[in-house]
């Protein structure tokens, strides 16, 4: 233990350091840290696994959100990672650190909120660990899943020329209760991946630009985004400093929509068909090189930083 932080913690740098420490056998762990789920061989079966934590004061405010919605969001966030691999959930284990003095009714609501969202996606809670402590509410939801006939869609498969597509619309999720009610796109991802050659996919949690940046970095490619094609949620349009809502759509995050790439002819068919209950839009193209470019309606090009909303603590 060092009592004086000689080197203050930078979350993303620390995560990069952790990834650099991993030396995994690809025959046992085909996909390690750095994608939406890990993929591990269990006998002849692939098992996929992911954990996400929800921390009071960082990812939600318990007093504003309420216990039931908080539980629902915790489950939905982890399910969204499973969706991003086009996998089917098998079950969840949850760890919950309850603040001392939390009412029993609230703890029950929290659990019921998790269970209800899990059940919608056939993801039962099969185990967990509950403790009471002097700290704020902390929830960890681990989900394990299986490919069930569909090859896991990684972040690293984007190819130059791929169309970049998204489900739904973006921005402002934090300004309303939308982020608490996010719908993990499990069904949508299965339909998309079973009909089309999805080359890469991620769920948009950090922000559209930031999560596209993850795909580009993992795939060693760049991207061009057509500003006019980005579907902007109504929640993003009430900000005087961002009248079109584009900035919010690109950086707010917490949308939990799918962002994926596929061959352009398949994207054209998909956008024509609209096989989902949520709209699919093509927003750009994967290009050679590094970095992302935003193309304004007047043709003006500007560099797009892979910057999303970073949790303030």
Restricting to residues 56-85, which ones interact with a second copy according to CB under 8 A?
56-59, 62-63, 66-67
Q: In a 10 Å sphere around its CB, with 0-12 CB exposed, 13-18 middle and 19+ buried, how is residue 47 labelled?
A: middle
- Distance of closest approach, residue 93 Cβ to a second copy, in angstroms: 4
Residues 6+ apart with CB under 8 A from 154: 31, 35, 85, 200, 201, 218
Among 244, 261, 284, 313, binds a second copy (CB under 8 A): 313
- Distance of closest approach, residue 218 Cβ to a second copy, in angstroms: 14
28 to 57: interface string for a second copy, x by CB under 8 A: xx--xx---xx-x-xxxx-x-xxxxx-xxx
Among 74, 84, 98, 153, binds a second copy (CB under 8 A): 98
* Three-class DSSP category at 165: strand
- Residue closer to a second copy, measured from CB, 202 or 246: 202
- Distance of closest approach, residue 157 Cβ to a second copy, in angstroms: 18
d(CA 88, CA 128): 20
- Residue closer to a second copy, measured from CB, 307 or 311: 311
Among 20, 26, 27, 100, binds a second copy (CB under 8 A): 100
Query: In Å, how far from its chain's centre is CA 259?
Result: 9
- Distance of closest approach, residue 62 Cβ to a second copy, in angstroms: 7
d(CA 26, CA 104): 45
Among 21, 241, 265, 303, binds a second copy (CB under 8 A): 21
- Residue closer to a second copy, measured from CB, 290 or 310: 310
- Residue closer to a second copy, measured from CB, 21 or 303: 21
Q: In a 10 Å sphere around its CB, with 0-12 CB exposed, 13-18 middle and 19+ buried, how is residue 265 labelled?
A: exposed
* Three-class DSSP category at 208: helix
Interactions with a second copy, residue window 152-211 (CB under 8 A): none
- Residue closer to a second copy, measured from CB, 38 or 75: 38
- Residue 302 contacts a second copy per CB under 8 A: no
Closest to 236 (Cα-Cα) out of 253, 223, 217: 253
Interactions with a second copy, residue window 114-153 (CB under 8 A): 115, 124-136, 138, 140, 142, 144, 146
- Distance of closest approach, residue 81 Cβ to a second copy, in angstroms: 10
- Residue 228 contacts a second copy per CB under 8 A: no
Closest to 45 (Cα-Cα) out of 78, 88, 76: 88
Instruction: Name the segment binding a second copy (CB under 8 A); options: 108-116, 166-174, 214-222, 258-266.
Output: 108-116
How are strands ordered across the β-sheet holding 222-226? 200-203, 258-262, 163-167, 280-287, 222-226, 292-295, 301-304
Structure tokens at 162: 């791929």
Half-sphere exposure for 256 (CA within 13 Å, toward CB): 23
- Distance of closest approach, residue 14 Cβ to a second copy, in angstroms: 6
Q: Are the C-beta atoms of 255 and 173 separated by less than 8 Å?
A: yes
Structure tokens at 42: 């269990």
- Residue closer to a second copy, measured from CB, 47 or 276: 47
């Amino acid at each position: 233990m060092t009592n004086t932080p000689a080197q203050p913690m930078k979350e993303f740098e620390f995560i990069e350091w952790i990834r650099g420490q991993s030396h995994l056998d690809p025959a046992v762990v085909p996909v390690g840290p750095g994608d939406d789920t890990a993929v591990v061989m269990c006998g002849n079966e692939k098992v996929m696994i992911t954990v996400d934590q929800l921390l009071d004061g960082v990812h939600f405010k318990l007093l504003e959100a309420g216990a039931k919605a908080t539980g629902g969001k915790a489950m939905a966030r982890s399910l969204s990672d499973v969706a991003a691999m086009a996998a089917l959930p098998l079950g969840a284990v949850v760890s919950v650190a309850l603040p001392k003095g939390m009412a029993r009714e609230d703890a029950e609501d929290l659990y019921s909120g998790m269970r209800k969202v899990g059940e919608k996606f056939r993801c039962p809670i099969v185990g967990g660990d509950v403790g009471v402590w002097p700290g704020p509410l902390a929830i960890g939801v681990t989900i394990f899943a299986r490919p069930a006939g569909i090859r896991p869609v990684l972040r690293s498969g984007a190819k130059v020329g791929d169309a970049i597509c998204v489900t739904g619309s973006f921005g402002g999720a934090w300004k309303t209760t939308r982020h608490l009610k996010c719908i993990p796109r499990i069904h949508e991802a299965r339909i998309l991946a079973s009909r089309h050659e999805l080359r890469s996919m991620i769920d948009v949690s950090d922000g559209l630009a930031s999560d596209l940046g993850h795909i580009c970095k993992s795939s060693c490619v760049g991207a061009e985004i057509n500003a006019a094609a980005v579907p902007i949620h109504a929640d993003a349009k009430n900000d005087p400093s961002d009248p079109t809502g584009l900035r919010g759509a690109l950086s707010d995050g917490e949308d939990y929509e799918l962002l994926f790439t596929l061959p352009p002819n398949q994207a054209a068919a998909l956008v024509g068909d609209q096989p989902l209950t949520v709209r699919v839009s093509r927003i750009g193209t994967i290009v050679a090189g590094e970095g992302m470019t935003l193309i304004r309606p007047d043709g003006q090009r500007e560099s797009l930083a892979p910057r999303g909303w970073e949790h303030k603590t």
